[in-house]
């Protein structure tokens, strides 16, 4: 069993509430500032939020920092396939244009970037 805020992060994330997911896990991370794994996941949620808004430069910056935070935890940690997340982050960097700060959300969608593959936890694993 993990901390309830950890589970809540994934619930928000899979509901497409990326900023809320970021905020939930940040609340937990504030009590465990040494935990770069949480910091990396926070960056992933923030990156998803930036993609929805077409903020390319911010998304690229978040992808780069998330890679740095998550590499030490590959291939897996706490139910997360970190290796798959790292591949997704690299794909983002390859697909996102390097020049513009902001593009239309439709242009982001046309890039074909899938949602980062994070796990779904069942109600039983949360203890609900």
What pLDDT, in 10s, does the model give residues 21-47? Answer: 999 999 999 999 999 999 999 999 999
pLDDT bin (cut points 50, 70, 90) of residue 115 is: very high
- Is residue 124 in some structural domain? no
- For residue 26, what is the domain's CATH number? 1.10.3450.10
**Residue 118: which of 2, 13, 3 has the closest Cα?**
13
- Is residue 46 in some structural domain? yes
pLDDT of 74 > 90? The answer is yes
- Is residue 127 in some structural domain? no
Give dist(CA 76, CA 83) in Å, integer: 7
Residue 85 CA: distances (Å) to CA of 59, 80, 103, 104: 15, 8, 24, 25
- Is residue 53 in some structural domain? yes
Q: Which two tokens stand for residue 34?
A: 């040494």
- Is residue 128 in some structural domain? no
Count of domains observed in the chain: 1
| Domain encompassing residue 84 | 4-119
- Is residue 125 in some structural domain? no
pTM of the model: 0.92
């Amino acid at each position: 069993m993990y901390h309830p805020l950890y589970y809540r992060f994934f619930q928000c994330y899979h509901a497409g509430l990326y900023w809320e997911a970021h905020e939930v896990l940040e609340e937990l991370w504030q009590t465990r500032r040494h935990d770069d794994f949480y910091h990396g996941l926070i960056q992933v949620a923030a990156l998803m939020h930036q993609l929805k808004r077409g903020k390319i430069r911010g998304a690229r910056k978040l992808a780069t920092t998330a890679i740095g935070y998550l590499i030490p935890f590959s291939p897996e940690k706490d139910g997360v396939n970190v290796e798959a997340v790292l591949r997704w982050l690299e794909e983002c960097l390859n697909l996102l244009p390097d020049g513009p700060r902001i593009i239309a959300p439709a242009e982001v969608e046309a890039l074909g970037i899938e949602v980062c593959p994070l796990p779904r936890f069942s109600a039983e694993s949360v203890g609900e």
